[in-house]
Amino acid sequence: MRTTIKDIANYTGFSVTTISLVLNGKAYKIPKSTKDIIFDAVEKLNYRPNQIAVGLVKKRTKTIGLVISDVSNVFFSNLAKGVEDECRRNGWNLILCNTNDMHKRDLEYIQVLADKGVDGILFCMSLDSDKKKALESVKLMEKLKVPFVMIDRFLEEVECCSVIVNHRSGGYAATKHLLELGHRNIACVAGPLALEDSQHRLKGYKEALEEFGVSYDPDLIYEGNYDRKSGVEAVEYILGLQKKVTAIFSFNDMSAYGVYNGLKRCGYLIPKDMSLVGYDDIFFSEILDVPLTSVNQPVYDMGVEAVQQIISEIDSGVNSKKCITFQPKLIVRDSTTEYEEK
């Protein structure tokens, strides 16, 4: 059996109260001699408090849950890394929950995490969540009174702390870059347009077009699913348009890879025949033969920030309702070049 506080009490002759007080740094009136005896016993018997028992009485577990769609997705694994690192630095632990973008699982995990007594949840809602579903998740967390911070994907109508990237500005930067290079027929491989992030990137795209006096053509927008397959399919769609598209802006790197491969397969050279911009700046993008111009998101830092927010919310008991916005940064590499009349 594991050593318990009782064992220390028996061993030292003091009561469990005294032991607890000393171990929790609340022994204001207890002489050093007593403390020493206790600490010695703790060391000797190798005592460590049972955190389950502590959790039951303190109603704190120093554990948070991270609800994401899929850790094997590079974006999320970097996020998880940041989250875990910052947790460790603060003496917290992390329960990892993959929903595979199924709203139903969002709800299940929220409930389970609450049952396990996590002190807070870092929530990145499922791709298949429309506004109604997303609100359902939020309502559940509120009902269960578990503090939460929304990450990456957020909802304007929810009053909570969220850690996001300014996708509008990312979309704007990517598009502006292409426009400055002289491109005018710029296609987009968007993510699901039900998602705010996808919408915002599109908004940024439109803003840039407007600024350059280029009219918006909805035909040039292919609504994909943020995966590689979407990129491959988008190429087919875009080339089939016969619209003299000379540049493609993919709303994430995975779909950009699909576009990359799809274009190659069709005999297109990047960037000569087609410029390509991605979004996420996964480290692979740099390794590609034609290193990909991409919008970098400070994912790791977002994870760190989210943990700091949730911890401060837990400690203070107040919902900051802050919206921490990170700025994405366009990383120009070799997949984009000036438009040449042909």
Partner DNA sequence: CTGTTAGCGCTTTCAC
Partner DNA sequence: GTGAAAGCGCTAACAG
Instruction: Note whether 333 binds a copy of itself by CB under 8 A.
Output: no
* Alpha carbons 149 and 79: distance in angstroms, whole number: 14
Nearer to DNA by Cβ, of 218 and 317: the residue is 317
- Of the candidates 3, 7, 81, 237, which one interacts with a copy of itself according to CB under 8 A? 81
Stretch that binds a copy of itself, among 36-44, 65-73, 155-163, 178-186 (CB under 8 A): 65-73
Least Å distance, CB 340 to a copy of itself, is 23
Backbone CA torsion sign across 105, 107, 110, 114? negative
* Alpha carbons 28 and 342: distance in angstroms, whole number: 83
- List the interface residues with a copy of itself, window 134-163 (CB under 8 A): 144-145
Within 10 Å of residue 74's Cβ, how many Cβ atoms?
16
Instruction: Note whether 90 binds a copy of itself by CB under 8 A.
Output: no
Tokens for 339, please give them: 């438009």
Instruction: Note whether 6 binds DNA by CB under 7 A.
Output: yes
Backbone CA torsion sign across 190, 195, 198, 200? positive
Nearer to DNA by Cβ, of 30 and 95: the residue is 30
- Of the candidates 56, 266, 323, 332, which one interacts with DNA according to CB under 7 A? 56
Nearer to a copy of itself by Cβ, of 144 and 194: the residue is 144
Alpha helices in the chain (DSSP H): 5-12, 16-23, 32-45, 51-58, 74-89, 103-115, 131-143, 167-180, 196-211, 228-240, 253-265, 284-287, 299-316
Angle subtended at Cα 277 by Cα 276 and Cα 281, rounded to the nearest 5 degrees? 135
Stretch that binds DNA, among 2-10, 95-103, 135-143, 213-221 (CB under 7 A): 2-10
- Of the candidates 10, 17, 90, 325, which one interacts with DNA according to CB under 7 A? 17
Of 104, 43, 37, 96, residue with least CA distance to 71 = 96
- Of the candidates 10, 40, 44, 58, which one interacts with DNA according to CB under 7 A? 58
Stretch that binds DNA, among 43-51, 143-151, 213-221, 303-311 (CB under 7 A): 43-51
In contact, 64 and 120? CB cutoff 8 Å:
yes
Binding site residues, a copy of itself, CB under 8 A: 2, 48-53, 55-56, 61, 63, 66, 70-74, 77-78, 80-81, 84-85, 88, 93-98, 105, 111-112, 114-117, 144-145, 228, 257, 260-261, 264, 284, 287-290, 300
